[in-house]
Structure 1
Amino acid sequence: MSEKEDAQGSEDDHAGVRFPPPFIILSFLVAGIMADSPWVTGSLATLPAMVMGGLVFALGAVLAKSSVPRHRKAGSNVEPWKPTTKIISDGVYGRSRNPIYLALVLGYIGVAIAAGSIAAFVSLIPCLLVMRYYVIGREERYLEVKFGADYTDYKSRVRRWI
């Protein structure tokens, strides 16, 4: 094994997630908003909805801002197609195993509220299923194999989402 592989993990040392989770979530959001007819979306996109949506989106942004730097500080990768070097269990990771995904979903909900998009809310259901089984499920299996009891103990203490 080369020094580069030793420091970054082998080529197969990742969760097997091939599509960036933000792309998955954004795709469902855009599809949902586009599925709404313009007169429905326009009539529901009121100033109070935009303010409420903006607040929910901002909450997601704050959560993301407190989550991503923890990976950098720990020297671990955020991207699920790269090796995970350690379990991060402090800060927001002491409350949620997936705070970045939770932040992305809050951003999605905020935009859907602001746009007044009913179809975006409907498309959130399959989006969450894809995230749960395609992304999070793969990550959890990978982390259980890589970190064993340390990760299963973390899973028993900290909820998946909230």
Structure 2
Amino acid sequence: MGGAQDVVAFRLWPPVAIGAPLLVGWLATARWGDPVDLGGWRVPVGWALVVFFLGWNGWSLWLFGRHGTGLLPGQETHAMIVEGPYRLSRNPLYVGLLALYLALALLGSTTWGLVLFPVAVLLVRWGAIAPEERFLRARFGEQYDDYARRVRRWV
């Protein structure tokens, strides 16, 4: 295990930040029903988002392995990845997880889950992205600053 300077100190673990509002949405739907019928379009769009998530996040995770850098909390960060999906987003894994959130809300037919989507975005921004950006700036300095100027946070 590496030193504290080698790992990100998340405020909130990303799957929790993204999953909790979706769970609350499902519980609200189970308790009160949905105020809006999402219609049949939700199923193909939901499956398209699942396919996007699998490809996008699979590619992103493969790059972590290829670069030999830690992915999970507590694992050391040895390299900055700036290729593949990381050319388009500084946070492709979170973009993918948020796409999966939308997919599951659509496939599970929970309007409340869709309404709570911005909460998931704000929680992952506060709990994971802000600490991660501070960590990367401290770890990689000007290299990260240059990357952050070139590549958007989301897409």
TM-score by length of 2: 0.89
What CA deviation, in whole Å up to 9, does each residue of 1:46-102 have, x standing for no partner? 543222211112211211111001001100011244321111001111111111110
Out of 29, 35, 47, which is 1:54 matched to?
47
Unaligned runs of 5+ in 1: 1-7
The structure with the larger Rg is: 1
**What are the within-5 Å matches in structure 2 for residues 8-157 of structure 1?**
9-17=2-10, 19-37=12-30, 40-41=33-34, 44=37, 46-157=39-150
Give yes or no for contact 2:8–2:73 (8 Å, CA) kept in 1.
Answer: yes
| 1:98–1:155 distance in 2 versus 1, CA, 3 Å | same
Give yes or no for contact 1:44–1:115 (8 Å, CA) kept in 2.
Answer: no
Q: Report deviation, 1:18.
A: 5.5
Give yes or no for contact 1:58–1:107 (8 Å, CA) kept in 2.
Answer: no
Number of aligned residue pairs:
155
Give yes or no for contact 2:11–2:127 (8 Å, CA) kept in 1.
Answer: no
TM-score by length of 1: 0.85
Unaligned runs of 5+ in 2: none
Amino-acid identity (%): 29
Give yes or no for contact 1:18–1:81 (8 Å, CA) kept in 2.
Answer: no
User: AA paired with 2:2?
Assistant: G
Q: Report deviation, 1:27.
A: 1.9
User: AA paired with 1:21?
Assistant: P
Q: Where in structure 1 do 4 or more consecutive aligned residues deviate above 3 Å?
A: 37-41, 43-48
User: AA paired with 2:29?
Assistant: D
